[in-house]
Amino acid sequence: MRSLNASDLQVQGTGPRRLLRFSASLANLGPGPLLLRPVKGTSCPRGQHPADQLLHVDGNEDGVYQDRRDPVGERREVGCMLAHPDHDHWHFDAMASYALRRPGSTTPMVSRDKVSFCLRDNVRVPGQPVVVRREHFGECSRRSRQGISPGWVDIYTFDLSGQTLRLPRGVNGQPLCLDLEADPLELLAEADETDNATSVGIVVSGRQVRRTAPGRCR
Could you tell me the pTM of the whole model? Answer: 0.90
Can you give the pLDDT at residue 74? 92
**Contact predicate 20/204, CB 8 Å:** yes
Can you give the pLDDT at residue 29? 92
Beta strand 34-38 with 123-124 is unpaired
Can you give the pLDDT at residue 20? 97
Left (φ > 0), alpha (ψ -120 to 50) or beta: where does 43 sit?
alpha
Helix (H), strand (E), coil (C) string for the chain: CEECCCEEEEEECCHHHCEEEEEEEEECCCCCCEEEEECCCCCCCCCCEEEEEEEECCCCCCCCCCCCCCCEEEEEEEEEEEEECCCCEEEEEEEEEEEEECCCCCCCCEEEEEEEECCCCCEECCCCCCCCCCCCCCCCCCCCCEEECCCEEEEECCCCCCCEEECCCCCCCCEEEEEEEECCCCCCCCCCCCCCEEEEEEEEECCEEEEECCHHHC
pLDDT in tens, the chain (218 residues): 999 999 999 999 987 789 999 999 999 998 889 999 999 888 899 889 999 999 999 888 888 888 878 889 899 999 999 988 776 788 999 999 999 999 999 999 999 988 999 999 999 998 887 777 777 898 888 888 999 999 999 999 999 988 999 999 999 999 999 999 999 999 999 999 999 999 999 999 999 999 998 777 87
Residues paired with 36 in a beta bridge: 53, 146
Can you give the pLDDT at residue 216? 77
Q: How far is CA 12 from the centre of its chain?
A: 22
Enumerate the domain spans of the chain: 2-217
